[in-house]
Amino acid sequence: MSTPCYKNSKQPFEKRIKDLLSRMTLEEKLGQLNQIYRGHENPLPPEFAGQVRKGEVGSFIWGYAQPELRNQIQRIAVEETRLGIPIIFGNDIIHGARTIFPIAPALACSFDPELFERAQSIAAKEARAAGIEWVFAPMCDLARDIRWGRVAETCGEDPFLSSLCNAAQVRGFQGKDPSSNKNLAACLKHYVGYSCPRGGRDYSDTEITEWTLRNSHLPSFHAAIDAGALTVMSSFNAIGGVPAVANRHTLTEILRDEWKFKGFVVSDWNAVKETVSWGYAKDDADAARLSICAGNDMDMLSTSYCRTIAKQVKDGLLPVAVVNEAVRRVLRVKFMVGLFEKPYADESAYESAILRPEHIEFARDCVTKSTVLLKNDGVLPISKKVRKIALIGPFGDDQSEMLGCWQGFGETKDAVTLAQGLKVKFGSKISLTVVKGCSVQTQPRMKTLQDGSTVVDESAGKDDDAVNLSEAVRAAKAADLVIMAVGEPRGITGEGGSRATLTITGRQQELFDAVAACGKPVVTVVFSGRPLSIPAVIEKSSAVLFAWQPGIQAGNGLSDLLSGDVAPSARLSISVPYEVGQVPLYYNHYVTGRRTGGVYRDGVPTAARFWFGYGLTYTKFEYSDIKIVSGKKGKPAEAVATIRNKGRRKGVETVQLYIRQLACNEAARPMQELRGFKRVALKPGESVKVRFPLGGDVLGYVDCKGRTCVDKGDFHVWITPHARCGEALVYVHK
């Protein structure tokens, strides 16, 4: 019997898809649109085999590096079902598979998209070896409100930087051939507008105008689609009351009709069914029909599609053509990631693929390039005269906290803490005393009352609330230098990690104040998934390093910076406020018709403590000769500047180009927009001229029909070390 076309690898994908689709029953089609979750059970629940054998499973969320179990399930799909369509296994590999890197907003602080590309290329190799061919990353959401814990997964508050970083991540994950055993399919999430929830509360509603959608939230997704992303995940939120999972404007009119996206869209967890909770769909059947007709192809976890669509098709409520198109998209991606030719993972590959020396070395490099030096009165790099260091605080020697909010297949034992890194770096040259001082997870224990409300459980033990001030103060007084390791626990960042305050948690402030009062120089290292409002900590510290959640090479990378072996070069991807009351706070907001004043009535500044793009290094750079040079022979004008290293150490400066259109009749534009940056490495005394052409869509915006427009007229242009800094040049674009 001849090989059916869909199994013939010599045939083009589209021909194979057409042939396979023509052979499928409606139930088999709906099985391809159904994704289920492999939880913590081991061995696998027996019902999985039954569901797979009946062709009811198109995909698994598979959170474990267990290729042998994965192959066991796959063998049923391929060898025991009528058509043998392979399952696609997906997982949340956000900032590393087994080699865990700094979180995304930290890597974005490197202003080096290639760093991101390399990190995700390593993550893809390790994940594919684990039997995963689809990752639910990159997260393309724009950071808009740091009370929302998921800013820890974003590439920051700027659409331009976020676009470059997310396109780079797609290239890293998918490589040139997503079917190779070193690459896999990316998934852009959460499409779209999830990142500005009311009150900063995860899962709450968002109100976004088309103008803001087009120019703030969509650019990063568009850039990543243009980079070839194979899948998209629709988001939990609604835009103007229409849930994103059933939003035809965003899912079809923009994603398909305008951007020509050919991959498939998966819902977020149970989001199809949740359109009923939104009060948008009447019941599961309504939810399934509205979602699939809007352009959401696969149903994550709710099973609404496979339970309710067949009857709706038979009753003439839902055209089978809609189902066919969704299945066509899913099959296309399965062909593109090589599942039909190679359905089984190589069960011997994982151990040799993970934690390779070059992966670990690179993870260390990522730490040095993503940790931001926010303040330094000269205490850093640590002087050779320092003999005694006291490392105080709950983040100083906690391996688990280094792994961040999505640890993939990461294991605690792989992490190098700051204490461990300092011991390796300084050895016997330094006497290091390590004092935890208080716990990390001192969150009030809550209890639920009869009426369903939750209150603090006063009776709950306070065992983890102790603070050991005397030991900390003793260590500080005996030291030449104190390093404080404080922050927010990773357990309250990421999904569901909404906070109404942005302080360091528990009794860390008490610990910090007692240590700072000892009068020794304090270097504070902040571990957090988001910027925190810690003005007193900053004021009392001689230096502040913002380390985010740095991954398994935390201690070694941070020690490279503290010792001066490597100079900091990172620049903030998200602005840092003084107080949570200023949030939402981001640099690229409108000018508005009236001055909002520099200070709130209760004395808090309206400006950020540190703006987007800010960061120090161990030398100083001078900007001079900043001007606009008109273009010749049809070439665009250029903004140029000379940058000189006027310090005594070499350093890397990230020179940034911002623009503002002074009058845009489509809609007012933000007071500054990043439209270019160049990282220049300069030795002491060395200078370089940087040039930014003002052509193409550097000055452009997207109108509400999705067209990129560049208006003639007056612009302000800055070449500057960070947002909201320096004088603007006036440029008249003709």
Residues that bind ligand GLC (CB under 6 A): 61, 92, 136, 189, 268-269, 495
**Which residue, chain included where needed, has tokens 């790099």?**
381
Closest CB to ligand GLC among 64 and 269? 269
Smallest separation, CB 221 to ligand GLC (Å): 14
Smallest separation, CB 113 to ligand GLC (Å): 22
Smallest separation, CB 661 to ligand GLC (Å): 35
Closest CB to ligand GLC among 188 and 652? 188
Closest CB to ligand GLC among 137 and 514? 137
Residue 639's DSSP bridge partners are 628, 692
Smallest separation, CB 404 to ligand GLC (Å): 14
Smallest separation, CB 183 to ligand GLC (Å): 19
Nearest alpha carbon to residue 651 among 626, 623, 685, 628: 685
Smallest separation, CB 149 to ligand GLC (Å): 11
Closest CB to ligand GLC among 464 and 495? 495
Closest CB to ligand GLC among 269 and 600? 269
Q: In this structure, how many other beta carbons lie within 10 angstroms of the beta carbon of residue 41?
A: 8
Phi, psi for 408 (deg, rounded to 5): 50, -125
Closest CB to ligand GLC among 497 and 577? 497
C-alpha angle 61-66-72 in degrees, rounded to nearest 5: 85
Smallest separation, CB 639 to ligand GLC (Å): 38
Give the pairing of strands 34-38 and 59-62. Answer: parallel
**CA separation for the pair 487, 588 (Å, rounded):** 27
SS (H, E, C) 148-216: CHHHHHCCCCCHHHHHHHHHHHHHHHHCCCCCCCCCCECEEEEECCCCCCHHHCCCCCECCCHHHHHHH
Burial zone of 40 (CB within 10 Å; 0-12 exposed, 13-18 middle, 19+ buried):
exposed
**H-run or E-run covering 623:** strand 621-629
**CA separation for the pair 188, 208 (Å, rounded):** 19
Residue 399 carries which side chain, given as an amino acid letter? Q
**CA separation for the pair 7, 171 (Å, rounded):** 28
Smallest separation, CB 53 to ligand GLC (Å): 25
Nearest alpha carbon to residue 338 among 89, 83, 68: 89
Q: First-to-last CA distance in the chain? A: 69
Smallest separation, CB 273 to ligand GLC (Å): 13
* Strand ranges for 284-338 from DSSP E: 299-300
Closest CB to ligand GLC among 210 and 495? 495
Residues in the chain: 734
Smallest separation, CB 246 to ligand GLC (Å): 17
Question: What tokens does 74 get?
Answer: 């796959």
Give the pairing of strands 431-435 and 242-243. Answer: unpaired
Q: Are 731 and 694 in contact (CB under 8 A)?
A: yes
Closest CB to ligand GLC among 325 and 495? 495
Closest CB to ligand GLC among 162 and 371? 162
The residue sitting closest to ligand GLC, measured at its beta carbon, is 136
Contacts of 107 (CB under 8 A, 6+ apart): 95, 101, 115, 116, 119, 155, 165, 366, 369, 370
Closest CB to ligand GLC among 104 and 515? 104
Closest CB to ligand GLC among 92 and 365? 92
Closest CB to ligand GLC among 269 and 344? 269
Smallest separation, CB 189 to ligand GLC (Å): 5
Smallest separation, CB 504 to ligand GLC (Å): 26
**CA separation for the pair 68, 74 (Å, rounded):** 10
Pure H helices in 444-541:
469-478, 508-516, 535-540
Closest CB to ligand GLC among 133 and 268? 268
Contacts of 570 (CB under 8 A, 6+ apart): 106, 109, 110, 111, 369, 370, 371, 372, 373, 615
Residue 651 carries which side chain, given as an amino acid letter? G
Nearest alpha carbon to residue 562 among 495, 618, 490, 494: 618
Question: What tokens does 234 get?
Answer: 């629709």
Closest CB to ligand GLC among 268 and 365? 268
Closest CB to ligand GLC among 61 and 323? 61
Smallest separation, CB 37 to ligand GLC (Å): 8
Q: In this structure, how many other beta carbons lie within 10 angstroms of the beta carbon of residue 683?
A: 10
Smallest separation, CB 147 to ligand GLC (Å): 17
Nearest alpha carbon to residue 108 among 361, 371, 364: 371
Closest CB to ligand GLC among 136 and 658? 136
Smallest separation, CB 270 to ligand GLC (Å): 8
Give the pairing of strands 543-548 and 372-376. Answer: antiparallel
Smallest separation, CB 389 to ligand GLC (Å): 39
SS (H, E, C) 65-89: CCHHHHHHHHHHHHHCCCCCCCCEE
Q: In this structure, how many other beta carbons lie within 10 angstroms of the beta carbon of residue 679?
A: 14
